[in-house]
Structures are given as C-alpha cells and as structure tokens.
Chain A
C-alpha cells in the first residue's frame, strides 16, 4: 500500500515548502519529571529532520508525541498547519505517520509476519467471514525484509528468537511499508551491521525523495549529516538549537553533539602513555 500512496511527488527538498509536521514550544511532564520543554521544530515533505542529543535528552519523548504515544502537556503540535492532539498511535498511523520505536514495539512470542502487520492486518472476505490474508502477509513480510538485505528463514519464526539486528530490521521494514507520509526512526541503526545501516540510510534518502517527511534520531553524526536537512539539538529536555544543513558542518555538528571539550579530555584519558 505504501508504494501507491505517494500520489503527489513534492518538489524535491524545498526548504520553503509548507511544513508537514510542526511543534511549537512543546513540552511533556511525567509527574515531577520535565522530560521536554519549549522545543520547536518542523519538517516539510521531502525533508529529513535529525534529532540529536545525549542519553535522556528527551529525543524519544519528542517523537512519541509526534507518533501519538504521548500527548503534549504544553505547546502546539501541528499537522499540515492544523493544531492537533493525537489521541493514540492509531490516529498517527491513520495520517500516514509510521514509527520505528527505540524499543522496537515487537511482541516476542508472535511470528515475524504477525508482528509486521500487527494493527494493520490485511484481510479478505466480508462481514463475519472477514479474516486474515495470511498468504499475502507472509509474502509481503518476506519481500520487504529481503529488500533490506535480511533473508529470513521462516516468517513464522517468533520475533523473540531473532537477533537484535534482525529484529530492528523487521521494525524498520514495517515502518517503511506503512509510512505513507511521515517516517519517524528512533535510533534505528543502533544494532545494525555496516551493510544494513547503509541500507537504512539509503531507505531514508529514498523516502525523502518520494516526498515523505522523515524524522531521524541517531547518536552517530556520520549517519545524520549526509541525509539530514536540518538538525535539532536537545539537551536535558530543552532545545540547544535548530540548524539548517547550510548553517553547520560535520565537524561542528560532531562537536556540538559530543559536548566538544569533554570529548578531547576523554581522548586524553583513554590514550595510552607511550611506553618507554
């Protein structure tokens, strides 16, 4: 279904295109914990927005608001310029927003193909005879995973028995398959081999070229910089800035992400004293 949904090829990567997703001064509290405060950014169709920041900076919290898992406590969330409050992830999926969650959102005891289509199962038949189209589901699962360079042995294998990278690949293939307008990826390459990480970056570029808006979270500036159009930097729940690619270079980005001086200090610490 995702192959057919990209009806209007948007003029490529036009920064002036109207934003598809936008957050203004958004904030989220968990009891007394302020997980996110005053963060603003936007992403247009055909653009990749990278969200960067330390562990616990609030990246996952931000994308969980975008994908309907959490609701914002302050600020505004706009889709196509309209203020909105997504009641649940279903509401986001219905708007073509698909997400790869950091915890992957998989049910370990269920087979790969059931996980792949969970919540969006293909059916055949009508009325009370409406039932799963198992053959189609198995087939698409196998095909989409093969496209990622993952050759699954058997779509009936429980997800809990897959390797970490295989599991991550299933989650990514699923989001790519169902993301018709927006693709959100929360550290999708953390468990992947070099080859598969490359495939994911290529997928992100392809989705962008098809006119999807992409939100990409990563700790790796070498992954973020080549595909990103803009970079949002979070620290302790607040925004350190929202840069267009033209405003920042790779070394600058790396320094910002690592907290510059701290990294130099670390490399001093780690270096071995030359033995006499």
Chain B
C-alpha cells in the first residue's frame, strides 16, 4: 500500500508548467471570459462595479446558473433538454394557479409542482433511454407540448395569459423568505438566489468529481456502451439527470413565482438555449463526457454581467443577443482547443 506514496517522478513526464495544466481544465475558458467581461464593463461604468451593481448582475446570473448547472450535468451525461426553459414556466404557472386561483397553501402548491416537474423529467428521461432516440428530438416534443399546455390551461382557468395573486395564499411569506428574499451584506441587498446558486455549484462539483454517481455521469456521456458493459446503470443515470434538470426548473420556477407574485404563460420559452449556451461556455462538450459545474456557473455569470452591463452603458438591449452568439462561437472554439490540450498535456 505504501509504495505509491512517494509519488515517484517518471522520466517520461515532461514538466508542462502550471499554465499548460490549468489550460486543460474545462472551465478555464469561461474563467478568462468572465474576467475579460468584468473588466470591460467595470472600466466603463462605476455603477457596474459598485456593491449595488454587483448585486444587480449577480441576480439574473444566479437563476440562470441554477439551471445551467443541471443542464451541464445532463450534457456531460450526453443528453440535452430543450424543455428545461418552458418547464420553469410550467412550474411557476402550476404554483400560480394553485395558490392564486384555488387559494391553496403555498407549501402544498410547491410540493405538487415538484411532483409534476419530477414526473416530467422522468417522462423525458424514460422516453430517451427506452426509444434510444436523440434527446434533442424527444425534448423538442415535450417543449412544444408544454408550451401549448402552459397557455391552454392558463387561459382556460384564468381567462387571461397569466396567473397572479400568488402572494394572497397562506404561508406565502415563509416560502418567499426561503426562495426569493434578499440578504443584506455590508449595506447591499443581495438576492437569496445567489446563495442557492453558490451552494448548488459546490454540491454539483462535489457530486461530479467525488461520488460514484459523478463517475457514472462522465461515463454515460463519454461511452455509454462501455459504461453499461462494466455495470454502470446507464439508463437510470440518464433518467436521474433528466429529473435533476426538472428539479432545477422547479427551483427556478418557484423562485420567480414567489418573487414576481404573478407569472406569464409564456415564461421560460427560449431560455433553454441560454442554459445550453452557458454550459457550453463553461466547457461542456456537445458530444458529452466532458465539462464542469463551475464552468456552467461561470457561463451564467458572464450572461448576468453582459445583460446588466449593457443596460448600464446605455446600449440597446438588442446587443445582448449579438453578444450571446459571439460568446457561444468563441466558447466552442476555445473548448475544442482546450480539449486538445486536455488530451495532449498528459502525454
């Protein structure tokens, strides 16, 4: 046992230096990107770098990040979920209708919405592993179905396209405190969602790198046949990943429903692509088997900074979309480069 403790230096290992080794990490591109984006806006806008400014751009980054993390895990596991965005809306509307329309206790509504979200995630995952069809097409189906359902049910129940009066339900206040309130740090109000985001980033990183399940996630994305051959429950792993994504959608849906107290029937549509872009900026390979949770969170951070930074600079918000696309392209080029390094640096 004690043989390997001395870490013998092998003459076949060339010292590559710290930079080279760092470059092989999946999240390094996103980290550099985040620094550059921060510097860009911080230099031009004093509000951007002020305490209130920071709280302001961390806010959208946090909810985006909470979704980008499970989406990244799913991508590392080799699958996509195009219904992740609209599912946030489904959760929010479920909570909104149950509380605002039917006066249900907030906790009860949250539990029902969670059960619904997990069932949807299970449905996605089960169909994907059973049919062996690309998850892209399966979840595109659920995406469209949920989009229709969100509108149809909301209209049928409320005769409008929104569910409101969420704050009139019993136990609204304690739920709000947990999921949507603000915390004062040094006189600046930060959204509690930021704490959730940081905690989930840490948890996901630990699961990915230090648990059996994390090992299985990498393996089902990297080579699912091999994973199955050595006894990894590949189908179960993928289904759990889809359900994790759905649980993320529940969390974010809950956060926005409680915070806004009313929710639009088209909430979340289009967001699914932003989650995927954040995960890709964070170093996730589109082919699966490689990526990191920290990276996805950094991707979300970049988004938050750009979204608010553009406002602070007084630019037209249309530039946001342009920036989004440019970041994505830059990210995939970087990823390709980093992956090559990851494979080479160990030679």
Asked if B229 and A99 sit within 8 Å, CB to CB, the answer is: yes
By the criterion of a CB under 8 Å from any partner CB, how many residues of chain A are at the interface? 40
**Does A88 belong to the interface (CB within 8 Å)?**
yes
Asked if A109 and B229 sit within 8 Å, CB to CB, the answer is: no
The distance from the CB of A188 to the nearest CB of chain B, in whole angstroms, is 15
Q: Contacts A120-B231, A153-B13; is A131 near B215 (CB within 8 Å)?
A: no
Contact with B227, one of A119, A120, A130, A132 (Cβ below 8 angstroms) = A119
**Does B324 belong to the interface (CB within 8 Å)?**
no
Neighbouring B residues of A106 by C-beta, 8 Å: 223, 226
Asked if A158 and B342 sit within 8 Å, CB to CB, the answer is: yes
Q: Contacts A139-B1, A153-B12, A160-B343; is A107 near B222 (CB within 8 Å)?
A: yes
The distance from the CB of A264 to the nearest CB of chain B, in whole angstroms, is 39
Asked if A90 and B13 sit within 8 Å, CB to CB, the answer is: no
- List 22 interface pairs A-B (beta carbons < 8 Å), by A numbering: A69-B229, A89-B230, A89-B231, A90-B233, A99-B229, A106-B226, A107-B223, A107-B289, A108-B223, A109-B222, A109-B290, A119-B219, A120-B230, A121-B215, A131-B210, A138-B4, A139-B1, A139-B4, A142-B3, A142-B4, A154-B346, A161-B347
**Does B218 belong to the interface (CB within 8 Å)?**
yes
Asked if A121 and B346 sit within 8 Å, CB to CB, the answer is: no
Chain B at the A interface: SS class: helix
Q: Which of B208-223 contact A (CB under 8 A)?
A: 210-212, 214-216, 218-219, 222-223
Contact with B along A75-95 (1 / 0, CB 8 A): 000000000000011100100
**Does B232 belong to the interface (CB within 8 Å)?**
yes
Size category, B interface: 20 to 34
Asked if A89 and B229 sit within 8 Å, CB to CB, the answer is: yes
Known: A110-B222, A114-B215. 14 other contacts (CB 8 A): A90-B231, A93-B231, A105-B225, A107-B222, A108-B223, A109-B342, A110-B215, A110-B219, A117-B215, A118-B226, A118-B232, A121-B212, A161-B343, A161-B347
CB closest chain-A residue, reference B347: A161
**Does A2 belong to the interface (CB within 8 Å)?**
no
Q: Which of A113-156 contact B (CB under 8 A)?
A: 114, 117-121, 123, 130-132, 134, 138-139, 142-143, 151, 153-154, 156
Neighbouring A residues of B316 by C-beta, 8 Å: none
Asked if A156 and B215 sit within 8 Å, CB to CB, the answer is: no
Contact with A157, one of B1, B219, B229, B346 (Cβ below 8 angstroms) = B346
Asked if A153 and B223 sit within 8 Å, CB to CB, the answer is: no
Asked if A118 and B230 sit within 8 Å, CB to CB, the answer is: yes
